[in-house]
Amino acid sequence: MLSSLALLPALDSLFGSKNGGADVALARERRTRIDIPPEMYQDGESGLRYYDVVEGKGKLAEKGEPVVVHFDVTYRSLTVVSSRQSKLLGGNRVISQPYEFSLGAKPGAERKREYAESANGLFSAQAAPKPPKALYAVVEGMREGGKRTVIVPPEQGYGDKGFAEIPPGATIQLTVELLEVRVPAS
């Protein structure tokens, strides 16, 4: 049986990669990395440090455009806030609901309670999850399909108040996946 690595050169010749499988191998290595060394993070705005786990191939997210993302906030390896667990169903079941906001808008302005009219009362009136302020800054410059991990200092996270299991003044990790860049409403 052939290993998947043995197939890389053949796939590259089919899809036109110029460097003999290095693109595919690098992308696979980035996606499967568990612990990212601090020196691999890039410095961003407002003290944020980020690492692109997957570089998207789609449309570039620019200021003023509505975007749809999934995000996960972790503190000490515990996922505390996630758009992947944002709708509560009857029986304590949850479903994912992507988070939508406009780049450059005031953080939190789009959070609202939604009532389901056609689900026979299965959905609760739960508000969308509360993302950290950093989410509004780190998505700009990403491409659709991209996934980014960000080290968020307290000032750009949940600050002096904390949130849920995140204590006041805690540094958190934010993982963002850009699902879609929408056309702004005219």
pLDDT in tens, the chain (186 residues): 444 445 445 545 444 445 556 666 655 665 555 678 888 998 887 779 999 999 999 999 999 899 999 999 999 988 888 888 766 665 566 667 788 999 887 776 655 545 444 444 554 445 567 889 999 899 999 999 999 999 999 999 999 999 888 999 999 999 999 999 998 876
> Domain residue spans in the chain?
1-32, 37-181
DSSP conformation class of 74: E
At 27, which helix (H) or strand (E)?
helix 22-32
Query: Global pTM?
Result: 0.71
Report the SS3 class of residue 159. Answer: coil
Q: Is 29 exposed, middle or buried (0-12, 13-18, 19+ CB in 10 A)?
A: exposed
Class (C level, CATH) for 37-181: alpha beta
| Closest listed residue to residue 157, CA positions, set 138, 177, 178 | 138
Determine the pLDDT at residue 83. Answer: 84
| Closest listed residue to residue 172, CA positions, set 180, 185, 163 | 163
